[in-house]
Structure 1
Amino acid sequence: MQFALPPRRNLHAPYPNSSRLSFQRRRQLKAVAILGFTLLAVFFLLSQILYSSTGTSAVPAGTPSIVLVTVLDRALWSDNYIQKIIKNREDYAKRHGYTNFFANWSDYEPSLEGSPRSWGMVPAMRHAMASHPYSKYFFYLDTHALIMNPSQPLESHLLDKNRLESLIQKDVSVVPPDSIIKTFSHLQPEDIDLIITTDNEDMNPGSFVLKQGEFSRFLLDVWFDPLYRNYNFAKAETHALDHIVQWHPTVLSRLALVPQRIINAYSKESNGAGKDGSYKEGDFIIRFFGCDSDPKRNCEKELDPYYNLWAKKLKNE
């Protein structure tokens, strides 16, 4: 006697074949992976092309091209005096799309290791560059100085290629009046990373411009080396810079000396101005050089009449 077997149930009939589905998914995942890898590779190649063509990585939108660096001494100077300096710098930066880096001398005292506190300007510049890695130029300006011609952007006043070419002082003594080491006669604007002036005795780093890059990091590291800070130069970081520039052609080859009144005009009370280095109405900067080291002078009193002139210009605009 035979019994009819029940019909077999095809459990998979309503659904697609599992091996086929798995194969399709693998193909889709593989395609997505290839597409993702291709996009990453294209992005990487484009970033490398941009880097090789400009020498820097892509600059984020809104990055200021110029940073003004000022080191303040809140323990020594009155708040009123410091606020005047800050207002002067902030107005200038706002006009031209720059930014400010305000530091305190006390921030760098631990790293000075007993050296004169004036050395603090060097790590302050390095600090500013680390804080603004995509900005191109850093303009250090001593606390005891005012920007008197705020409508003048630094680009057209100093950094423009044609303008800088007209200002570079070639084949002149690095340390006046008669240093045997002279600036190179073949310098071109594209060679320059450090722009500074001299007075009647030295290069004076109370006002200078440094371009972001490997050279600037090298210079600041060398300048701040303990060997120089502990050498007891009579004028500390000023004489150290004189020495470095005269003995290191690498530095001299990236240096532009410009006329003093371009970025470092001395007030009438300041001794040591170079030839045609004293402030005249309309100049970009006035600097009260030495007002903080001469007991017969008072920085705040010397600054006030010029600050009032500057403030009057703002009201009349």
Structure 2
Amino acid sequence: MQFALPPRKNPPLPYAHSPRISFQRKKQLKAVALLAFAVLSVLFLLSHVFASATSSPATGPAGTSSVVIVTVVDREALSDSYIRKIVSNREDYAKRHGYTNFIANTTDYTSYLEHAPRSWSIVTGMRHAMASHPHSTYFFHLDPHALIMNPSKSLHSHILEKSELESRMLKDVSVVPPDSVVKTFSHLKASDIDLIISRDKEDLNPGSFVLRQGDFASFFLDLWFDPLFRAYNFAKAEVHALDHIVQWHPTVLARMAVVPQRTLNAYSRDSTGAAIDGTYKEGDLVLRFFGCDLDAKRSCEGEMEPFYNLWKKKVKSD
């Protein structure tokens, strides 16, 4: 008769860990791994956002211009002769400095605007230009009721070079004049900037501004064109929406340089609302007939004609 033998117990191996200790060790290692993954993910996202915001587009094909001049015209409201003069003014400037001229029509964007004013086509026009010229770096939006009056001065030497931008940036000033509590950052450098704009007497004014292509530009234009802002019925539509965005979104403020009005957006003497020293003087890059299309007593074509003739003389003499 056979008897069952008692179960054999294997002696513990030297330095063996108990199952309980091993389980706890695994939990600790898992927690450390998850924490490390989370930290690396956050660092990756932050580095991607801030690095890509200031990055320039990849080098494009030979002949790609660094600057695109964007003008959105309302062909239903402006005469053909007026539009030809505007286009001629931009094309001459673009040819001189190796830039590209992009003319858009507000009617091309009516399906996107829904019931919003046509002035919102500033945003759609800029997005259209960036999509059409993905390898260009800077996009210079210029209102149709404006002329480039100093054709020999390139945008680079005037404002885009770091030293020039540094010297013109207004720091620690109210974003929205005259005394908004939100002010431009005092620590910003030219290398931080993706949006260059000026103020008039009452608002940031997007009639003339420069935007650098990149992730920030896409974010900024999408934010600005948010349906909530277009439907909010701001008194000045896209202008007041921009004032709101910059004051409530430090992400935008941290990438924006405010420059003196005459740097990019000098007003004619017939225009109201110019900032102090914001009225056009000989030698300024841009002359803008601000509000000429909104005042029945004014004529955009009549105001522009003598300055257009003056510009033609300059072009012929160069």
TM-score (norm 2): 0.82
Separation in structure 2 between the aligned mates of residue 229 and residue 177 of structure 1, nearest angstrom: 25
Separation in structure 1 between the aligned mates of residue 232 and residue 298 of structure 2, nearest angstrom: 29
Separation in structure 1 between the aligned mates of residue 312 and residue 177 of structure 2, nearest angstrom: 36
By how many angstroms is 1:55 displaced? 5.7
Q: In structure 2, what is the equivalent of residue 143 of structure 1?
A: 144
Q: 1:122 corresponds to which letter in structure 2?
A: V
Q: In structure 1, what is the equivalent of residue 284 of structure 2?
A: 283
Say if 2:267 and 2:278, in contact at 8 Å, map to a contact too: yes
Q: Deviations for 1:236-286, whole angstroms, at most 9, x for unmatched residues?
A: 000000000000000000000000001100000000000100001111110
Q: 1:238 corresponds to which letter in structure 2?
A: V
**Percent same amino acid among aligned pairs?**
67
Q: 2:218 corresponds to which letter in structure 1?
A: R
Q: Deviations for 1:188-207, whole angstroms, at most 9, x for unmatched residues?
A: 00000000000000000000
Say if 2:139 and 2:211, in contact at 8 Å, map to a contact too: yes
Separation in structure 2 between the aligned mates of residue 258 and residue 89 of structure 1, nearest angstrom: 22
Q: In structure 1, what is the equivalent of residue 221 of structure 2?
A: 220
User: Structure 1 residues 56, 309: closer, same or farther in 2, change over 3 A?
Assistant: closer
Say if 2:57 and 2:136, in contact at 8 Å, map to a contact too: no
1:307 is the counterpart of 2:308: yes
By how many angstroms is 1:59 displaced? 2.0
Q: 2:195 corresponds to which letter in structure 1?
A: L
Q: In structure 2, what is the equivalent of residue 206 of structure 1?
A: 207
Matches within 5 A, 1:253-272: 253-272=254-273
The 3-state SS of whatever aligns with 1:302 is: helix
Separation in structure 2 between the aligned mates of residue 55 and residue 179 of structure 1, nearest angstrom: 32
Separation in structure 1 between the aligned mates of residue 232 and residue 219 of structure 2, nearest angstrom: 20
Q: Extract unaligned runs of 5+ from structure 1.
A: 1-50
Q: In structure 2, what is the equivalent of residue 273 of structure 1?
A: 274
Q: 1:302 corresponds to which letter in structure 2?
A: E
Provide the aligned length of Structure 1 versus Structure 2: 267
1:124 is the counterpart of 2:125: yes
Separation in structure 1 between the aligned mates of residue 129 and residue 57 of structure 2, nearest angstrom: 18
Q: Deviations for 1:77-101, whole angstroms, at most 9, x for unmatched residues?
A: 1111110000000000000000011
By how many angstroms is 1:73 displaced? 1.4
Q: Extract unaligned runs of 5+ from structure 2.
A: 1-50
Separation in structure 1 between the aligned mates of residue 57 and residue 283 of structure 2, nearest angstrom: 36
Separation in structure 1 between the aligned mates of residue 57 and residue 302 of structure 2, nearest angstrom: 45
Q: In structure 1, what is the equivalent of residue 99 of structure 2?
A: 98
1:294 is the counterpart of 2:295: yes
Q: Deviations for 1:143-182, whole angstroms, at most 9, x for unmatched residues?
A: 0000000000000100000000000000000000000000
The 3-state SS of whatever aligns with 2:266 is: coil
Q: 2:233 corresponds to which letter in structure 1?
A: N
Say if 2:149 and 2:311, in contact at 8 Å, map to a contact too: yes
Q: 1:190 corresponds to which letter in structure 2?
A: S
Matches within 5 A, 1:178-217: 178-217=179-218
Q: In structure 1, what is the equivalent of residue 317 of structure 2?
A: 316
By how many angstroms is 1:56 displaced? 4.0
Matches within 5 A, 1:43-62: 56-62=57-63
Separation in structure 1 between the aligned mates of residue 165 and residue 316 of structure 2, nearest angstrom: 32
Q: Deviations for 1:114-149, whole angstroms, at most 9, x for unmatched residues?
A: 001100110110000000000000000000000000
Q: Deviations for 1:195-223, whole angstroms, at most 9, x for unmatched residues?
A: 00000000000000000000000000010
Matches within 5 A, 1:235-254: 235-254=236-255
Separation in structure 1 between the aligned mates of residue 218 and residue 123 of structure 2, nearest angstrom: 11
Separation in structure 2 between the aligned mates of residue 56 and residue 120 of structure 1, nearest angstrom: 24
Q: Deviations for 1:33-57, whole angstroms, at most 9, x for unmatched residues?
A: xxxxxxxxxxxxxxxxxx99x6643
By how many angstroms is 1:75 displaced? 1.3
Separation in structure 2 between the aligned mates of residue 190 and residue 114 of structure 1, nearest angstrom: 38
The 3-state SS of whatever aligns with 2:202 is: coil
Say if 2:230 and 2:237, in contact at 8 Å, map to a contact too: yes
TM-score (norm 1): 0.83
Separation in structure 1 between the aligned mates of residue 56 and residue 223 of structure 2, nearest angstrom: 23
